[in-house]
Structure 1
Amino acid sequence: MRIIIMAGGKGSRLWPRSLEDRPKQFLALTSEESMLQQTYRRLTRIVPPNRIYVVTAVQYRPLVLEQLPELDEERLILEPVQRDTGPCVALSALHFLRRGEDETLVLMPSDQHIPNVLALNEALCKAENIAESSDAIVTLGIVPARPETHYGYILTSGGKGHEGARKVLSFVEKPDRDTALQLVAKPDVFWNSGIMVWRPSTIARAMKEHQPGLWDALAKAGAELDRIYAQLPKISVDYAVLEKANNLYTIPFRYEWEDLGSWASLERIREEEADSNGNILHGSVHAFDSNHNIIFAEGRKTIVIGAEDLIIVSTSEGLLICHKSKESDLKAIVQRVEKQGGGVG
């Protein structure tokens, strides 16, 4: 199989650390390496490096090559502009189909924390076996660890098929707390990991059936790719294809997994670093009479007194002070400030 790392997102929910010109996948948030570098190194333990590709927006090409100097241009797929994962997946499939290649592709986000590489390899191999032997679309479904409201959920059938796969019945996108509690109580419900395994020809068939306008425009773009791509709809592959497909399966993944899409997810990954009062501190931070905060200070001494359950992030680009209960509003507020000309990101 070939593995494509999707590294084109903006990461607005980690503002002001993650900015449009250097988003989260290029930042060292959980170790000395960036999320992109960690993902690439992890995957070299599964497949040879020459079978690992990166798809990203053209504006991030210099960052990718700076952080992955071993990645040659042949393995870099460039989107003219950011149009979400639907067009990104279609462009990736066309990249191989035009070369007459139809080997199974794993499409994987660049910003996930998956420490158990052996378990990941086993799950991907099972998914590959299914995708190779049929026109199936296979995802990795994460066994829920909590009633999470920031993730999408996959509802599956009870029976186990080839390689232990479950038939996907439906999706639930970012439920409220009560719904999430009901979902995690069911044995056949999983978090949607965003990891997809399918052949380029399977992607083409799915796009032709469910997004014919998008696929036809992209397939016929030729020298007009930049102009055509900018006109494609901003649509996720979930909405574009997966939620409409009847040949969709999921492989349960029961090991540690985290989508590093928010300050709360960073706190979970780094919980062992918390001080005696449950604070996650980064930089020159001094916290007094403060409990269960996430405090990130870049480039200046920071003192926090009497704070509880806050996210405090100070960088040269801005200052964020947010109660943890309001973190789900951050992305929308950042977008609102951007539209108002506030210079966020």
Structure 2
Amino acid sequence: MLHAVIMAGGSGTRFWPASRNALPKQLLALSGERTMIQATSDRLEGLVPAERRMVLTNQALVSAVLEQLPEFPNQNVVGEPCKRDTAPCVGLAAAMIARKDPEGIMAVMPSDHVIGTPDRFRDAIRAGEKLVQEDASRIVTFGIKPSYPAESFGYIERAEPLQAAGVAAFQVARFREKPDRLTAQQYLSSGSFYWNSGIFLWRASTILDALKSHQLEMYEHLDRIAQAMETDKFQETLAVEFAAIKGTSIDYAVMESYPNVAVIEAPFEWDDVGSWQALERLNPSDEHGNTVVGSHYAIDTKGSIIFGQPGHAIVTIGIEDMIVVQTPDATLVAPKSAEERVREAVRLLLESNRNDCL
């Protein structure tokens, strides 16, 4: 059977001050009325029933996630006791699924992507499922056809084509780390590279075997957690064994060295919503190029991003290409060109003991 795993452990620091430890980016509505994690679950309708959807998140966020996803059984929202990156997250989910469904196939996806064509997304997942059913050792990933030479994404280089119904699929030649500008331009020009979407499909048993082969110490910790499932020692074992894992990404742990990976050229619209400027892609702009979420009154304001609380009036005068974010207890004002430095602001507040703003 097909299962869905939603990874929701990120803190979304680049979306401060709207994104906080207690309410990170994936629990915010940045595009439309539904929050990002709700939209992620919504697009699984008709593909994977709620009882086979799972969320892995920060332990402190379990209640908030369940509140936003009331259709999920409580046991399907799993709280990680500490942050250990995506490989332990994936391994824990795989161990839980494999105990219930030894032949189960997992579709793994982040909780904070915007996909504008959910029907095509579901079709692509079904095509990937068939590729896994044809070859149980195969891992499937989804590549985004690049539209500009991005330096902030990892890349996938494709090799020979594969037969797949309704989608373009290829064997993967290799994975590439985030490139510099010149290398990214070369990737774009070649036409044989994709952005790595971070969406995967595999049998739960296959990814567990891969972790056992490539990350034995991690696998052993995960196996001890699996052995304690459905016992009164589970939470205690999870806390001890998960914390003992050396965190790393699933790309580094498995994908970059695994010999049998296929990539499907994503037929769906995709945005990873990585920073405030993503709002320009996800929301309409006014006649002066301003993107506004909230109540904004502009005087000589151009090309700016304004994000505020409902009913709170934001007035700007004589600004251009700026980001202005208002929350009840913190405000950010920055040029769009400096948006990557929002992380510096978070570090500054942490060093200043302003945890109340984080």
| Interval of TM-score (by shorter of Structure 1 and Structure 2) | over 0.9
- CA RMSD of superposed structures (Å): 1.8
CA distance in 1, matches of 2:331, 2:120: 39
Is 1:318 paired with 2:330?
yes
What secondary structure, in the 3-state scheme, does the structure 2 residue paired with 1:6 have? Answer: strand
Cα distance 1:170–1:67, how it changes in 2: closer, same or farther (>3 A)? same
TM-score, scaled to structure 1: 0.93
TM-score, scaled to structure 2: 0.90
Q: Deviations over 1:222-276 (max 9, x none)?
A: 4322022122223211122111212222100143110122111222111xx2111
What secondary structure, in the 3-state scheme, does the structure 1 residue paired with 2:66 have? Answer: helix
Report what 2:87 is aligned to: 86
CA contact (8 A) 1:24 1:111 kept: yes
- Sequence identity (%): 38
> Structure 1 residue 340: deviation in Å?
4.6
CA contact (8 A) 1:7 1:109 kept: yes
1:1-345 aligned within 5 A: 1-134=2-135, 135-157=137-159, 159-163=160-164, 164-221=168-225, 222=228, 223=233, 224-270=237-283, 273-298=284-309, 300-335=312-347, 337-343=349-355, 344-345=357-358
Q: Which deviates more from structure 2 when the two are superposed, residues 83-92 or residues 146-155?
A: 146-155
CA contact (8 A) 1:155 1:168 kept: yes
**Unmatched 5+ residue regions in structure 2?**
none
Q: Deviations over 1:28-72 (max 9, x none)?
A: 111111111111111113233333222222211111111111111
What secondary structure, in the 3-state scheme, does the structure 2 residue paired with 1:43 have? Answer: coil
* Alignment: residue pair count: 342
CA contact (8 A) 1:96 1:200 kept: yes
Amino acid at match of 2:334: C
CA distance in 2, matches of 1:328, 1:180: 19
Q: Which deviates more from structure 2 when the two are superposed, residues 11-20 or residues 302-311?
A: 302-311
Amino acid at match of 2:183: T
Cα distance 1:125–1:100, how it changes in 2: closer, same or farther (>3 A)? closer
CA contact (8 A) 1:168 1:249 kept: yes
CA distance in 1, matches of 2:344, 2:130: 40
Q: Deviations over 1:270-318 (max 9, x none)?
A: 1xx2111100112222222221111112263222122121111121232
CA distance in 1, matches of 2:48, 2:172: 27
Q: Which deviates more from structure 2 when the two are superposed, residues 29-38 or residues 246-255?
A: 246-255
Q: Which deviates more from structure 2 when the two are superposed, residues 171-180 or residues 279-288?
A: 171-180
Amino acid at match of 1:142: I
**Unmatched 5+ residue regions in structure 1?**
none
CA distance in 2, matches of 1:64, 1:77: 10
> Structure 1 residue 333: deviation in Å?
4.4
Q: Which deviates more from structure 2 when the two are superposed, residues 200-209 or residues 230-239?
A: 230-239
CA distance in 1, matches of 2:216, 2:315: 56
Cα distance 1:94–1:332, how it changes in 2: closer, same or farther (>3 A)? farther
CA contact (8 A) 1:152 1:171 kept: yes
CA distance in 2, matches of 1:64, 1:40: 11
